[in-house]
Structure 1
Amino acid sequence: MFAKEAYKGTLEEQYTTLSKQLDALLSGEEDLIANLANASALLAQFLDDVNWVGFYLLKKEGLVLGPFQGLPACVRIPVGKGVCGTAVERNETMLVEDVHQFPGHIACDAASRSEIVIPIRQNNSLVAILDIDSPLLARFTEEEQRYLEEFVTVLEKHIVL
């Protein structure tokens, strides 16, 4: 069901399939960590040219590392610092073509060149972020941003805090 070959067709069709698979995969499960772990694994399998896919959970002291696929990562990120902390501070998606040009970039993985960070909300409050890094410059497009935001919307239906 989750084989890479299942993703054929236009980019829109591929992401529609991905979101449907996420919904099916998480259906009936309420554990936050299990759902985030499966979501990160599904994205890591689906996306080409990425070196890190995961989640940071918003706690009182800032962002704390959650389930992910990739090399070991920064455990804590203050709100307002780096791409992830800036996404929380602004409460909006951050699409960064070259992280080395981003003021205050936190280099958890020196191989990362571009990044997208998408807020995850529950009851209109930001509770976590999805963070995806790539070793390629300008890896993520605005079109992909929209589809990844739709993926997060599906994920939000399965988030129970």
Structure 2
Amino acid sequence: MPHADASLVPDSIKTKSEFWTHVHDQLEILMGGQRHWVSNLSNAASLIYNSLQAFPSNFGDGERSVNWCGESLHFPPLVSTTQSTKSDRPAPSLSSFYLISSLFPQPRFTDASMDPQSQTRASTNMLLGPFSGRPACQWIEVSPRPRGVCGDAFVKRSTVLVLDVLTYPGHIACDGDTKSEIVCPLILRKGGEDIVVGVLDLDCLAIGGFDADDQVGLERIVALIIRSCDW
């Protein structure tokens, strides 16, 4: 099967529970034999985003679409054709990851250009990781004061579901069209310690675009990503 076909959603899938199980299983196949987080998170962001676009009964590409999906990463300093049918369901507007900065490759030829301010900032924020959607924030602060939904999910180590971003204190408006958001932390269990390496962030164009079913499905996908990658 062509890799792009992984984002096709069969007509037999009707509920969100069935949808997220399908996405989980497709992602597990896509990540088979690959353990680098850059490659796996890239496919994860794309698969989630395009699958949501191809699921018009709940999201689609209209007013209820998800407009962003992706990851952000944080690293401690020491350590098919998608359907175009319009619908009244929320469309995904973004799917992304933000990851702790220490996970990112360090400069090999320009270390001298790393000024002290940049090094300090690297230990207190998440950097933009693989995503699908419009351009987004390059980094998000997590210390000493977390910023936005992503920062809060990182510090709380739990999923944050926001029905209306305009009512959320400190919301970061990367896209002014975003109305709702869900952020799931990426938690790595190592040596008896829980290490938050980043977050998975999804934005939606509709108020109340995400619910408990989405949270359950995304948390299961996040768990799959964590155990499928070398961090």
Interval containing the TM-score (normalised by the shorter chain) = over 0.9
The alpha-carbon deviation at position 66 of structure 1 amounts to 0.3
TM-score of the pair, normalised by structure 2: 0.67
Structure 2 matches for 1:79-158, cutoff 5 A?
79=142, 80-123=146-189, 124-158=194-228
1:32 deviation in Å?
A: 1.0
Q: Percent identity?
A: 37
- The DSSP-based 3-state class of the residue aligned with 2:202 is strand
Q: Offset of 1:3 from its aligned partner?
A: 4.3
- 5+ unaligned residues in a row in structure 1: which ranges? none
Q: Select 2:9's aligned residue among 5, 14, 30.
A: 5
Measured after TM superposition, the shift of residue 5 of structure 1 is 3.4
Distance 2:161 2:187 in 1: 18
* Aligned with residue 32 of structure 2, among 8, 20, 27: 27
- Whether 2:49 is the aligned partner of 1:40: answer no
Matched, 1:69 2:132: yes
Which is further off, 12-21 or 72-81? 12-21
Aligned length: 161
CA deviation string 1:15-55 (max 9, x = no partner):
11111111110011011111000000000011131000000
Separation (CA, whole Å) in 2 of partners of 1:6 and 1:75? 35
Residues in 1 aligned to 2:10 and 2:30: alpha-carbon distance in whole angstroms: 15
TM superposition outliers: structure 1 runs of 4+ over 4 Å? none
Considering only CA atoms, is the larger Rg found in Structure 1 or Structure 2?
2
The answer (yes or no) to whether the contact 1:113–1:135 under 8 Å persists in 2 is yes
TM-score by length of 1: 0.95
For structure 2, the residue ranges without an aligned partner over 5 or more in a row are 53-58, 60-64, 75-100, 102-122
Give the secondary-structure state (helix, strand or coil) at the position aligned to 1:84. helix
